[in-house]
Amino acid sequence: TGGSGQYAHVVGKLEPMAVENDSETYEFVNNISQGRIPREYIPAVDKGFQRALVKGPLCECEVVGVKAILSDGSYHDVDSSEMAFNVAGFNCMRETLKKANMALLEPIMKLEVEVPEEFQGPVSGHIAQKRGVINTSETRMGTSIFVAEVPLASMFDYANELRSMTQGKGGFSMEFSRYAQVPRNIQEEVVARRLKEKEERMATA
């Protein structure tokens, strides 16, 4: 060994959290058999796991929606420490993430649009072009009302676009709804762009 506080061994696995459990971003499960790793070192492993999630391998984005299960490990009476288990947890999670089938998430917004009835077709088609899904639509007293879910990435400058389509007569409100996976083709574009930006930064550093 390399001296006191250098030995730690952890074994675990990573699982996606249930889709409906979107209020939680991370869960730690301790399935260690009694004595395999002393109880006082378990929180250090958990902290190491969480440190690795701050910057994942995909675009260096934070990793959310995962369950980390600590299943086995070992320690040394003299050469183990909290720091050693923190580092072991970090390295274990980092290597696991590299092998995982990761997916980018994006914020999905709840969009409510009110426009004069004559603009119903263009506005609904425009929402579809933005990868939006209209959940409900109705017409009341000559006004069409849409409630849809649309990726936030598609909504920049929407106020000007809606104004242009409706001769300034349309209005909308928007609030956060949930996170959802980015379509695979768009994910590939984002990853390639982020990689290129990173290479350019390194070249000019």
User: Checking phi first, is residue 55 left (phi over 0); if not, alpha (psi -120 to 50) or beta?
Assistant: beta
pTM of the model: 0.74
Architecture of domain 105-181: 2-Layer Sandwich (3.30)
Q: How does pLDDT run along the chain (205 residues), one tens digit per residue?
A: 344 558 999 999 999 887 655 556 899 999 988 788 999 999 999 999 999 999 988 888 889 889 999 999 999 988 889 999 999 999 999 999 999 888 888 999 999 999 999 999 999 999 999 999 999 999 999 999 999 999 999 999 999 999 999 999 999 999 999 888 899 899 888 888 888 887 888 888 6
Delimit the domains of the chain by residue range: 9-99, 105-181
CATH code assigned to 9-99: 3.30.230.10
- Alpha-carbon distance of 97 to 95, in angstroms, equals 5
Residue 89's nearest CA partner among 103, 62, 68 is 68
Q: Which residue has the tokens 């929606």?
A: 65
